[in-house]
Structure 1
Amino acid sequence: MSLVYNEEQQQLDDSAREFLADRSPVSEQRRLRDEQQAEGFDAKLWQQMLEYGWGGIALPEAYGGLEFGFQGFAPVFEHIGRNMVASPLLTSIVLCASLVNDLGSEQQREEILTELIEGKRRLALAVQGQDRFRADNFDVQITDTKQGFVLDAQDLWVPDANHVDGLLVAGQLPSGDVALFIVDADTPGVAIEPLHLLDARNHARVSLTQVQVSAAERIGTGDIQAQLELAFDRATACVAAELMGATAAMFDMTIEYLKTRTQFGTTIGSFQALQHRAAWMLADVELARSALMAGFEALENESCSVEQRQQLVSLAKWKVGETAHKVSREAVQMHGGIGVTDELDLGFYLKRSRVAQILFGDSDYHCERYGKIAQQLSAEIE
């Protein structure tokens, strides 16, 4: 496993650092929150991100992509986390575009991928309700009809669904097979209601009531479940990278505060007890980064089995999530009461981190998944 970025990743790291620090500092995210923009992100910034090629990082060159692989998203999402950038990159590109690329027909890929990469269309993935995340759990019921299919679901939690152009909807057929459909947002029976969470981002409650779709709107056939689980693993790794960036930013803020805050005539960073706590935070941050890079590498390593990939991605999300929890808690304590107020950026990072920790599975889920796979592999060896 490599603990450093390859040349392509380093180029993306450099461009993302400079671009986001200049065009989208944390103050810009505060503005979006305070103005309560319906889309939840800056449309102009999103278009600029696409012009930089970020929408096509892992997609084929034939459709306008860069074909760098999903490892290319690691540095981009880390800087997204460092700057608290709101964008539909995770939902419209990492999830929806990858599913269309993996499962869609040639005609669907030519039509949809190009529009997603260029920003002419934005999609969100609708699969599950607001209960605990499970990759094999579907809250969308699908019924066969002579005209096509009918979709029904209530209270789906869908990130970035407000003002979206369409939804990718996954659910179970009466046979038990999983099917995936593309549904325009203005289709009769589709209801999208803003859902207000702690991080003030674009979240929505989606309901489908007797939504009729044709066979032409179906994306792929065969083992859809396996491709969905792969897409979830990709999204999980990207959320972990964003969380890694936010955690690193909170750590840096805390170290700077220890160097400048004075108490009893000296900087509090000179107190040995706080030095020890800072050292433990640094150790956890570096361990989390190692786990994260291993998870991204597993997404691209053809020698990795599905089980190994799932374990490494779960390890990354668990370790980064636990580190985020520890660093944010320590940061607030070291800053004192002001740490949880809106006056400091720290509180802003804290709120986003808590939501990111549960996206695509919290620590309990990923510990459980890792353990189950370990038991299965152990049983096979015996």
Structure 2
Amino acid sequence: MSLWRHRDFLVLWSGRTLSEVGDAVSLLAVPLLAVTVLDASAVEVGVLTATRMLAYLLISLPAGVWVDRIRKRRLMVACHLLRAALVATVAAGAWSGWVTMAHLWAVTLFSGVCTVLYETAHHSFLPAVVGPDRLLDANGKLATTYSVSQIAGYGAGGALVAALGVARTVGVDAVAYLLNAASLLLVRHREELPARPARRHFYAELTAGLSYVFRHPVLPRLVAASATLNFFSQMIFALAVLFLVRDLRLSEESVGVVLALTTLGGITGGLVSGRLARRVGTARIVWAAPLGLGWTALLVPLAQPGWGPAAYTAGMAGLGAFFAIYNAASISYRQRVCPPRLLGRMTASVRWVVFGVMPFGALGGGLLGDWLGVRPTLWIAAAGVWASGLWLYFSPLRRARDLADGVAERELIPSGGRHG
């Protein structure tokens, strides 16, 4: 049965889509608020992006233990309700004129805590809803609709900022979170409370996920590649609005249009990710995606006023396609090989590393942008994005075509062979 006929997946997908539209509106409006209303510097913008990601470093590991102990859906609903309240304070503060950079930093930090808990739970909840055989398809569809949501969010955000101003625009995100919380209550899948062991050892449970990841023959290289990619891509994202407004001299509405167009690559990548992985090979695609598409990030620092938005859009669209293809393959693999009882802790352990480097990337982008200039910093970041694929090229994945399908299996299928 197609996932488009799978009721619970459709409910989960539609709610997440609404939330991501609101996220995109907020990711455009909040930095614009900082740059255009509060006259934020490159360092302050870098700190703003860093605080959004700092929660991954602080609570990812304990989040995995908590998620494996409780019902995932209830936690996801609570996270959305809290995020709605936090974003609403920014809208109210911007509208009344008392918002400050410290306020924005605090809200993004606590919103990040909710995001960590929600996403860890979501990655553990999805396999139970769709089953292991549909994970690649489900993750590909989610990657595609994430990009569609960003187009809608950035496009609508740019139009709303031009029509209503940034103050009222930020409030759209709060509504989206409320709608997503409501949609999760419609999922029919009956989630059993995880079995409670006779004795619980928090530290042992916490380190079990890390131990599994770093003793696995493939996952350490995957983690290193993802961490490198996230570090350097955050340097680009942290400076994006600043670069478009001050270097390319675009209006607020034009910034929204450019950011919306850049997500076309993610849509394309999400649509073809499953088919491309099957044709190229599920092992090969993991290293071929960064090395084959990562170079497009070099188009970003090439952009100049006038024709520059086209180069910027093409470079970021290529990067979006790479993200969608790589993430669908790597996340699906992690979900399939990990035993269900460890899914939350495995996910949290991986995300603790690969997302934990992101605040340092964002902060480093802001500091280097202030010291070297925005454009030289973007050259460094673009080169780092492409080089992330080398971790996987010089690994056992290069000698394999496909990754093993079985949950209990850890070996790679040699090129040209099949698992018996």
TM-score by length of 1: 0.35
**Which fold has the larger relative contact order, with Cα–Cα distance below 8 Å and residues 6 or more apart in sequence?**
2
Q: Which has the higher strand share?
A: 1
Q: Which has the higher helix share?
A: 2
